């Protein structure tokens, strides 16, 4: 089998569902798409690898009951016979709910980008309205 974060045995262990190597690889391809990482790129932490293994296992089992996953058509909402359906998120029809939870726990997804101001830099939080050219000129104008 080609390198994958999970194996057919992992799918059976974590979900109780039998799976072939081909089904695992198809799930792996989707998890790579949703995670933004490839198998070769993720070697940084056991924690990430565990979450990716679980995501692939859950996605594999979920895809068995959603055989039309590769034939879906994007819609905003569905209404039929008085019942309506609105997906919980953009990829709800493509990604297993438990796989989505695992993907949210990846370190590169959890860590927000923090931009700190330079030491000694002026704090512009009290700058007021940025729409007023007159206010900007009178407060922060420095001749060249």
Q: Does the structure show a pLDDT above 90 at 19?
A: yes
Q: Does the structure show a pLDDT above 60 at 1?
A: no
Q: Residue 68: pLDDT band by 50, 70, 90 thresholds?
A: confident
Q: Residue 102: pLDDT band by 50, 70, 90 thresholds?
A: confident
What is the length of the chain? 144
Averaged pLDDT for residues 47-52: 89
Distance CA 7, CA 24 (A): 7
Q: Does the structure show a pLDDT above 80 at 135?
A: no
Quote the strand ranges of the chain, DSSP E. 78-80, 83-85
The rounded mean pLDDT for the chain is 78
Which of 106, 20, 101 shows the shortest CA–CA distance to 63? 20
Distance CA 8, CA 25 (A): 10
Which of 1, 27, 32 shows the shortest CA–CA distance to 14? 27
Highest mean pLDDT: which of 12-16, 70-74, 111-115, 128-132?
Answer: 12-16
Q: Does the structure show a pLDDT above 70 at 100?
A: yes
In the chain, pLDDT over 70 holds for what percent of residues?
Answer: 67
Tokens of 11: 């799918």
Residue 85 dihedral angles phi and psi, to the nearest 5°: -140, 125
């Amino acid at each position: 089998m080609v390198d994958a974060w999970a194996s057919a045995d992992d799918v059976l262990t974590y979900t109780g569902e039998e799976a072939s190597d081909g089904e695992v690889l198809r799930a792996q391809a989707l998890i790579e798409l949703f995670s933004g990482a490839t198998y070769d790129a993720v070697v940084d932490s056991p924690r990430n690898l565990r979450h990716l293994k679980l995501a692939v296992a859950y996605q594999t089992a979920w895809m068995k009951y959603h055989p039309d996953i590769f034939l879906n058509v994007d819609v905003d909402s569905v209404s039929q016979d008085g019942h309506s359906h609105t997906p919980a998120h953009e990829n709800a029809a493509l990604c297993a709910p438990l796989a989505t939870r695992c993907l949210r726990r990846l370190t590169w997804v959890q860590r927000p980008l923090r931009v700190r101001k330079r030491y000694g830099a002026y704090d512009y939080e009290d700058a007021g309205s940025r729409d007023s050219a007159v206010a900007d000129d009178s407060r922060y104008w420095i001749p060249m």
